[in-house]
Every structure is written in C-alpha cells, then in structure tokens.
Amino acid sequence: MMKIARLQGYRRSAGFTLVEIMIAVLIGLIGIVVIMQVYAVSEGYKRTSTTGTDAQINGAVGLYQVERDLRVAAYGISALMAPAGNVNAACTSIRVWNNDSGRAFDLKLVPFEINSPLLPAGDPNTDVISMLYGNADSAVIGTFADQGGSTTRYFDLKDNWYGYRNGDLVVGYSPNGGPGGTPVCALHELTAVPSGNGNCGVPVAGSNGRPWAAHDTGNYPDPNNGCKSKKATHNAATGIPMSNGQPVPPLSKGTGGQIFNFGPLPAWKAYAIRNGNLTVCDIMTQDCGDLTQWQVVAQDIVSMRAIYAISTAAGPQWTRANITTIAQANTVQGIAVAIVARSPLIEKPRGTGGCDATNSASLPDAGQPNAWYQQYMGSTDGTIVNAAFNLSTSRADWQCYRYKLFQTAVPVRNLTWRP
C-alpha cells in the first residue's frame, strides 16, 4: 500500500498540465506583443529623428553654398557698374563670345538676379538665383587703354599694366561706342601681357617694351595651369559681335576707353531646385541651357525663394521686382534667401483622415508662425507677391513629410565698398 501511494505522488509531480502550458504560452505571446509595440514606437521615433537629421544637414549645406557665393557677389564688377563714380555711364550688360558654342550672349551687369530669363526655370513655385563676381587679385579698377582704331588690336595700356596675367578675362569699356552714343562692354581673354611674370616669361610679340596686352584667338601659355598651352575661349577673330552683328568698337583712351579685370575665373553661378534637389551651374564654363550640366549640391531641397533690399529715401525696401536699370542695381543693399529641406521619411497619419505631418503649403516648418520674409519687413509692409512657399506642387503626397526651413540675409558689401 505504501508503494502504491508513493507512485501516485510521483505521477502528480511529474510535469505540467495542458492548461498550465496554454496559460504560459498566452503570457509569453502577450509579452512579445507588448515588446514589439514598444520596439515599433521606438523605431518610429528613431527613424523620424534620423531622417530629421538628414534634412538638417542637407538644408544647412545647401544654404551655406548659396550664401557663400552671394557674399562675393559684385566683387570685381562694382567699379564697372559706376565708371568714374557715375552710374549713368555704365553698361547695362556685357557682351560675351564663346568659341566652343560659336555664339554670343549678353550678361546682365547686376550683382545677382532672381529668375533670369537666360536660365531655364526650376521646379514649380521655386526661384532660380544667379550671382556674378570676379576673382582678380589686383587691378579691380579700370585701366585706360587704346586699340588704335581696330577692335582686334592689342590693348595699349596707359597705366597699371602690372596687374594683369595671361588668362585674365577683362571687360573692354567704350563709354559712347554703341548706338546713339550708348556705352558698350565686351569680354576679352588676355593671351599675352606686359609682365613676364604674368605670361610665363614669354615676351609680348612686337611690344618693343610697350605695355601691350594681346587678346588673340590662338593658344597661349596659361599661368593658372602650370603654363600649359591653352586655346582662347572668349576672343573672336573678327571682333566680338554685338547683337546687330557689328563688332564691338575699339577702345580709345581719348574717349575714356578702359579695361576692367575680372580675373582668370570669374563666375556667373546659378542655383535652382530641380527634381527636388538643389543644383548649381556656372554659365561662364557650362552650357546651363542643358539641364544635364546642372550639378546636385544638396538632396531633398524642395523649395527656394529670394527677395532683395534696395535703398530708398524712406529706407530699405524689400522687393522681388526685376532689376531693369544699372542705377537700380547700384542701390541694392542685400538679399535674403530661404530654402526648405524635406525629410525623406513618409510619416504615418495620426488619425484616419489622411497624411497630416504638414498641413500648410506656405508654412512648411512646424515652428514657422508666418511667411518667412516677414521678419525682414515692418508690420505694415504687407506681402511680397510670389515670395511665399507653395509645396502643394512638389509632389502629390507632400503632406506626408516633415520639412525644415533655413534662411539668411546677406549684405552686398562689394557695392558698398566700391573702390
């Protein structure tokens, strides 16, 4: 009897019942569900934070690139915008010839421009911003020159001839050589200069010790590239053609003819939003009419807007109006730019009514109380037409993303500090 009782006790303690196992499995499943829910929420926060960082970096890099070029806008061209301090005597544009394309175009003589008609438009409801500047390390003021009645003849420099080097791009300024006595400006590429240090030690042919600077169409030693041979790009064999087909007039010192040094690598850079990316192109070295020539600067930049300030009797006035005269260009004091970076993460809706990560197409940043440009204006200045953002055309599901606003205001000091 005692043996049977011990066996029965052994059987009762030998394992778990089915009910106990099912309860344990249920508890485990509940734990797994809770853990996965916590993980999903945590992973969502992590992805939002990570992609938000991507937007911060892309926006900061994009704005830095635009701001850096805007800060040097007008360098080297400010003296040409007001020869002898007279804005009314300045050219409105510079005639530029390119041997590679076999065509000429007019480069508007302004420190920067919003939506230049010479450049292809960007994405809908975004701006194309272009800026012009030189990089000469000397001779940023004009040098009187004479061409002896021939537009293809070398420049006979009257002073300050040691400030030039081979490869420098200079603007020939004729105060009254255009139709009706209007000023004419044309870009030339120097191929031989008076200074031996400036033309790789090669004497200027036929100079006889005179300070002549040639602008031929052939090859020349380029000091900017180890004195390797380079073919001139911006000189025409029969003279730079004006829009009427006639060559630009020769410079004459007697009538105030001068050349202005833009340096070996002046830039006319343009920034635009293309396919949701910030892109850049330099029309001085690239064919910006070809969209494949535009290079991506920062990804996931969906909008860019700009306004500029001009000096008036009532104080600075912010506007987007086209700069139509050289006198107006000389009153520019600064430019404000804003760009919007988009997080690459699609946010899930908080409710059942569709995407609601961003609800305003004109106020994309969660911390943006009003139009981005309002902080630069007075409370009674009103609005600026076409200056606000409109993200509704950036993509159909634009409300499913979060955005970050970056903006800055840049003074155009190179006009204020005119030599």
Kindly report, residue by residue over 114-141, the tens digit of the pLDDT: 999 889 999 999 999 999 999 988 756 8
Q: pLDDT at residue 33 above 70?
A: yes
Which of 113, 110, 412, 134 lies closest to 259 in space, CA to CA?
Answer: 134
Task: pLDDT band for 349, please (50, 70, 90 cuts).
Answer: confident
The pTM score is 0.83
3-state secondary structure the chain: CHHHHHHHHHHHCCCCCHHHHHHHHHHHHHHHHHHHHHHHHHHHHHHHHHHHHHHHHHHHHHHHHHHHHHHCCCCCCCCCCCHHHCHHHCCCEEEEEECCCCEEEEEECCCEEECCCCCCCCCCCCCCEEEEECCCCCCCCCEEEECCCCCCCCEEECCCHHHCCCCCEEEEEECCCCHHHCCEEEEEECCECCCCCCCCCCCCCCCCCCCEEECCCCEEEEHHHCCEEEECCCCCCCCCECCCCCECCCCCHHHCCEEEECCCCCEEEEEEEECCEEEEEECCCCCCCCHHHCEEEECCEEEEEEEEEEEECCEEEEECCCCCCHHHHCCEEEEEEEEEEECCCCCCCCCCCCCCCCCCCCCCECCCCCCHHHHHCCCCCCCCCCCCCCHHHCCCCHHHCCEEEEEEEEECHHHHCCC
Kindly report, residue by residue over 313-333, the tens digit of the pLDDT: 877 889 999 888 888 888 899
Q: pLDDT at residue 51 above 60?
A: no
Task: pLDDT band for 257, please (50, 70, 90 cuts).
Answer: very high
Mean pLDDT for all residues in the chain: 86
Task: pLDDT band for 381, please (50, 70, 90 cuts).
Answer: low
Q: What is the pLDDT of residue 168?
A: 93
Report the share of the chain in percent with pLDDT over 70. Answer: 89
Q: What is the pLDDT of residue 48?
A: 59
Q: What is the pLDDT of residue 14?
A: 60
Write down the domain spans for the chain. Answer: 50-73+273-416, 83-110+135-261
Q: What is the pLDDT of residue 201?
A: 81
Report the share of the chain in percent with pLDDT over 90. Answer: 46
Q: How many Å separate Cα 250 from the centre of its chain? A: 34
Kindly report, residue by residue over 150-171, the tens digit of the pLDDT: 999 999 988 777 788 899 999 9
N-terminal to C-terminal alpha carbon distance within the chain: 121
